[in-house]
Amino acid sequence: MQKIVKTIIFLIFLFILSVFFIGLNRDTNYNTANQINKEIPDFKVSYLDKENFFTKNDLRKNNFTLINFWASWCAPCRIEHPILIRLSEEKNMKIVGVNFKDKKEQAKKFLGELGNPYDVSTKDMYGKQSVLFGIYGIPESILIDKELIVIKKFVGPLSVNDLNYIKEIIK
Amino acid sequence: MISNFGNLLLFISIFLSLSIIYLSNKNLKLNGNQITKNIFQLSLIQSTLVIICFFTLIAAFIVSDFSLITVYQNSHSMKPIFYKITGTWGNHEGSLMLWVIILTIFSFLFLIYNKNHPKKFRLLTLIIQNILIIGFLFFIILNSNPFSPLSPIPKEGLGLNPILQDPALAIHPPLLYIGFVGSSIYFSAAIASLISNYSEKNFASSIKNWILISWSFQTLGILVGSIWAYYELGWGGFWFWDPVENASLLPWFAMTALFHSIIVFEKRNLFYFWVIILCLMTFILSVTGTFLVRSGILNSVHTFASDPTRGIYILSFLSLMIFGSVFLLFKKYKTENYNLNQNSKETFVLVNNWFMMFYLVTVLLGTIYPIFTDALSQNKISVGPPFYNAIIFPVVVIFLIFMAIGPNTSWIKNKFDNIKLYFLILLGAILINLMIILFFKNFSILSNFIIISALFLILSSLKDFVISKKKNNLDLARIIAHASFGFLVLFIGLNHIFSVEKDYNMKIGEIKKFDNYSIEFKNLELKDFTNYQAVVGEFEILKEKDRNILKPEIRIYSNPKTLTYEASIKTSFIKDYYLTMSNIDRSDYYNIKFQEKPLMIWIWLSVIMIVCGGLLRFFKNAKNS
């Protein structure tokens, strides 16, 4: 009996450590460097207002798209909001907002107060779809081109430098 | 130059460790209970060298020597000197130097403070500790070298992340490291005890003070981290269940279980193997935490620049530690008699340990579960606060009740002759809770239970104080620690229920009113400081006749160019006012977030009192021995 218990304990440790090892070598989506120049993953989020779904294919008609992950409860999202408003004036790029783990009413109140920079507003209530993009904390934004290839990923609030960078790229 | 000097010191330290191991091994074969002087001397020289090595690094930060990559990446010549110094351990490489310092100093102190224990046990502890030291020194030299040179030498450094430029964060890592790196010494002692069959009660007295001291510092470290998060991260919370916070909590649970069960071991010579398992577990969890944080396998607000080779190294080291200790434990394990009377102090201490293990497993699962789902099914999930809150808080209620009753039970066989008194206390707790509800008009079942059980613990501790003072067998350390834990839970509960939060867009001159509060945006100023510029707002908060001025800031740091938002906090004994402000581009409006957080300062004070309890026990033990 004791032998069996010992073997099981040993195997549990072996299992945990091997998973750690696999985890280490895995190309984690969290690592933003690996996503650059690659196509974005398949995803399916619902619109903020409607129950229809918005998917990857809906992005193909835009020359450039900035996917921005935000929430009303996220203080830095307020900080970057003015930058998004400025970017929304760009003709060559659409902005898709993904409202992350938020309440619909509060999200709408947020946009009502600060202005709505999004061409399309979607929601990811449980944060599951956002994880596909390797979103860990918000705000984060992903700039993609017509072929849905990731050009750059912005972790944290967009800054004025980011604004200029994006303007330069989509010129 | 500095690079060569630093590397030389690191290599000498490895050589010293090898010599200590060699001499200890040689000394083991000699008769007598004397340890040769050489070993003491070498151990002292080793600690001194490692400290010099660390000061060399600090010196490089002070003079802004950008010929070192670490300094270049984490400092800037315009930085105030205080943050130049603290920048030394604000990064992966420098903080590992802190690791090694604590490993060596603890190794030396353990050697000199345990002279009345068997030679074999002491020497084996020293050998194991030095194996750990060598492991970490190699880790530093191979892929986390703070003395790596950079050429050509840059004129200016990249600067330290502004949110790390903070006094609380300057002392947070050293405190925490004394806690979880300190646990290495009882890991080594546990292995030594297994090898040398030193399983008597005396073994407990050799490690119990080390457990207390590391536990106290670990608690303080966690507290300082929370305080920092509270005023720096700007949303008024102080615990996020972030993987890194969890990593500091895991060894804390194991330590807490350990210093309770070691009381039983010392008094009744029971639970020897359980104590050993907890000793091993504490340090293994500390290294696991380090692995999770430094390898980049998990991301969090604390992420250090990650590098997979680092992960591989720590993982190999961790595997070696785990399999080595599990193998040894299995080899030496003998079935222990756990046939305890169900109503005895021994059982109550075991109950404490079950609770600690329950919390530990919950937090461990929540922390590593995302890694498992990702590695095994490619399904990425994140485990957030709702998981922890739902599982941990209801259990706290029962835990607190046990915590109140447990200490008064007697060894071997207990008789409850004061049940009536406990009922009275419970009644008192319920009454006070009712008064709180009536006064504040707020109700939620779980929070009521939590408040009642917290009050029960506090009142019981008070009762213990009065009774034991009369009988002259006062255990002040325990009473303070337990009562303060009760207060901590009580204050967190009240704070959670009675917080007020409001969000507004305001411009200068505007007044917002709600309930009986009024917030006036009075003024805005631009100020220049050495390493940043600040836009400072002035707000007047009026609640009935209580008038407060709050000045939140938006700071613009130059190196690296970053914007940070500094909350303005007005602390009083009853409540904190908490105000953050952020600008809205191209408008005169500012977004402000106002919070009233009751009893904040009492939450911090409760934790400090818990630590005082631990330290009091430590000094008492030290005096007795």
* ipTM for the predicted complex: 0.79
pLDDT at B10 over 90: yes
- Partners of residue A20 in chain B, C-beta under 8 Å: 291, 297, 315, 371
Asked if B312's CB is within 8 angstroms of A24's CB, the reply is: yes
Nearest CB to B299: which of A2, A30, A114?
A: A30
Number of domains chain B contains: 2
Residues of A in contact with B318 (CB under 8 A): 17
- Tell me the DSSP string of B479-501: HHHHHHHHHHHHHHHHHHHH-EE
Instruction: Give the contacts of A153 (CB within 8 A, at least 6 positions apart).
Output: A32, A35, A36, A134, A140, A141, A142, A143
Q: Which residues of A are catalytic?
A: 74, 77
pLDDT tens track for A86-135: 888 888 899 999 988 777 777 888 888 788 899 889 988 776 777 777 77
Distance CA B398, CA B395 (A): 6
What residue type is B277 in one-letter code? I
Interchain proximity B584–A137, CB inside 8 Å: no
Please indicate whether residue B574 or residue B233 has the higher confidence score (pLDDT): B574
Give the pLDDT score at A66: 92
Other C-beta atoms within 10 Å of A87: how many?
21
> Computed from CA positions of residues A49, A53, A56, A60, in that sequence, does the dihedral angle turn out positive or negative?
negative
Phi, psi of B186 (to 5 degrees): -85, -15
Chain A CB contacts of B580 under 8 Å are 75
**First-residue to last-residue Cα distance in chain A:** 72
Q: Which residues of A39-68 are buried (b: 16+ CB within 10 A; e: fewer)?
A: ebeebebeebeeeeebeeeebeebebbbbb
User: What backbone phi and psi angles, to 5 degrees, belong to B383?
Assistant: -105, 120
Chain-chain contact of A86 with B505 (C-beta, under 8 angstroms): no
Given a cut of 70, whether residue B622 has pLDDT beyond it is: yes
Which residues, 6+ apart, have CB-to-CB distance to B346 below 8 Å?
B264, B268, B270, B340, B411, B412
Closest of B38, B26, B212, B35 to residue B114, by C-alpha: B35
B312 to A19: CB separation less than 8 angstroms, yes or no: no
- Fold of the domain built from segment(s) A29-170: Glutaredoxin (3.40.30)
Residues of chain A positioned with their CB less than 8 A from the CB of B593: 75
Contact B97, B89 (CB under 8 A): yes
**Contact assignment for A24 to B297 by CB distance below 8 Å:** yes
Q: How far is CA B490 from CA B102, B287, B455, in A?
A: 35, 33, 7
Q: Kindly state the average pLDDT of the residues B586-608.
A: 87
Q: Which helix (H) or strand (E) holds B591?
A: strand B590-598
Q: Is residue B3 part of a domain?
A: yes
Smallest CA–CA distance, residue B277 to chain A, in Å, is 13
- Taking contacts as CB-CB distances below 8 angstroms, the residues of chain A near B584 are 78, 81-82, 114
* pLDDT of B300 over the 60 cut: no
- Over residues B591-619, the mean pLDDT reads 92
Min distance A38 CA to chain B CA atoms (Å) = 18
When CB atoms are compared, the residue of A17, A28, A161 closest to B322 is: A17
More confident residue, B63 or B33: B63
What is the structure's pLDDT at B47?
94
* Mean of the per-residue pLDDT values of chain B: 87
Q: Which residues of chain B have a CB within 8 Å of the CB of A85?
A: 585-586
Task: Please report whether residue B552 resides in a domain.
Answer: yes
**Total residues found in chain B within this entry:** 625
pLDDT digits (tens, 9 = 90+) for B16-35: 999 999 999 999 888 877 88
**pLDDT-derived band of residue A42, with 50, 70 and 90 as boundaries?**
confident
Average pLDDT over residues B70-90: 85
Tokens of B132: 């750990």
The one-character DSSP state at B68 is: B
pLDDT of residue A91: 85
Cβ separation of B371 and A23 shorter than 8 Å? Answer: yes
- CA B566 – CA B579 distance, rounded (Å): 9
Q: Predicted confidence band at A160 (pLDDT cuts at 50, 70, 90)? A: confident
Strands, E assignment, B30-144: none
**Cβ pairs A/B, distance under 8 A:** 90
Terminal Cα-to-Cα distance of chain B (whole angstroms):
47
pLDDT at B588 over 80: no
Residues B582, A79: C-beta atoms closer than 8 Å:
yes
A45, A123 contact by CB (below 8 A): yes
Which residue, A38, A140, A34, is CA-closest to B308?
A34
pTM, full prediction: 0.82
Is the pLDDT assigned to residue B288 strictly greater than 60?
A: yes
Which member of A79, A85, A127 has the closest CB to residue B382?
A: A127
B279 vs B300, higher pLDDT: B279
pLDDT for res B168? 82
Flag if B565 and A75 touch (Cβ within 8 Å).
yes
Residue A17 to residue B315, Cβ atoms within 8 A:
yes
Chain B nearest C-alpha distance from A22 (Å) = 6
Q: What is the pLDDT of residues B83-116, one digit of tens each?
A: 889 889 888 889 999 999 999 999 999 999 888 8
pLDDT of A136 reads 62
Least confident stretch, B174-188, B392-406, B438-452: B438-452
Query: What is the pLDDT confidence band of residue B306, given thresholds at 50, 70 and 90?
Result: low
Phi, psi of B583 (to 5 degrees): -85, 150
Report the gap between the CA of B326 and the closest CA in chain A (Å). Answer: 8
What is the amino acid identity at position B579? Answer: L
When mean pLDDT is compared over B262-266, B413-417, B562-566, the highest value belongs to: B262-266
- What does the pLDDT read at residue B444? 75
Alpha-carbon torsion angle B412, B205, B288, B245, nearest 10: 80
pLDDT for B526 beyond 70? yes
At residue A67, the 3 state secondary structure works out as strand
How do the domains of chain A map onto residue ranges? 29-170
- For the segment B349-359, the average pLDDT, to the nearest whole number, is 91
* B554, closest residue in chain A (CA to CA): A79
Tell me which residue range forms the domain holding B55: 1-159
Q: Is the peptide bond before A139 cis (omega within 30 degrees of 0)?
A: yes
Burial B424-441 (b: 16+ CB within 10 A, else e): ebbebbeebbeebbeeee
Higher pLDDT residue, B390 or B129?
B129
Interatomic CA distance for residues B422 and B463, integer angstroms: 10
What pLDDT was estimated at residue A29?
A: 46
- C-alpha dist (Å) from residue B427 to A91, B305, B423, B560: 69, 54, 6, 58
- What is the crossing angle of helices B476-498 and B385-405, to 10°? 140
SS (H, E, C) B513-524: EECCEEEEEEEE
β strands within chain A, DSSP E:
44-47, 53-55, 64-70, 93-100, 120-124, 140-145, 150-155
Nearest to A82 among B375, B384, B584 (CB): B584
The set of residues, in sequence order, having a beta carbon less than 8 Å from that of B159 and lying 6+ positions away, is B74, B75, B76, B79, B557, B559, B560
Lowest mean pLDDT among A22-31, B41-50, B569-578: A22-31
The domain boundary, picked from B135, B159, B183, lies at: B159
Query: What's the average model confidence in pLDDT over B524-529?
Result: 87
Residue A33: its H or E element: none
Say yes or no to pLDDT of B134 above 80. Answer: yes
SS3 state of residue B233: coil
Window from B61-65, B234-238, B329-333, B482-486 with minimum mean pLDDT:
B234-238
Instruction: Note if the bond before B251 is cis, omega within 30 degrees.
Output: no
Question: What pLDDT is attached to residue B336?
Answer: 74
Q: With cut-offs at 50, 70 and 90, classify the pLDDT of residue B556.
A: confident
pLDDT of residue B492 exceeding 60: yes
Contacts for B307-314: CB closer than 8 Å, 24+ residues apart: B307/B143, B308/A24, B308/A25, B309/B143, B310/B92, B310/B139, B310/B143, B310/B144, B311/A24, B312/A24, B313/B139, B313/B142, B313/B143, B314/B139, B314/B287, B314/B290
Q: Cα B474 to the chain's mean position, in Å?
A: 29
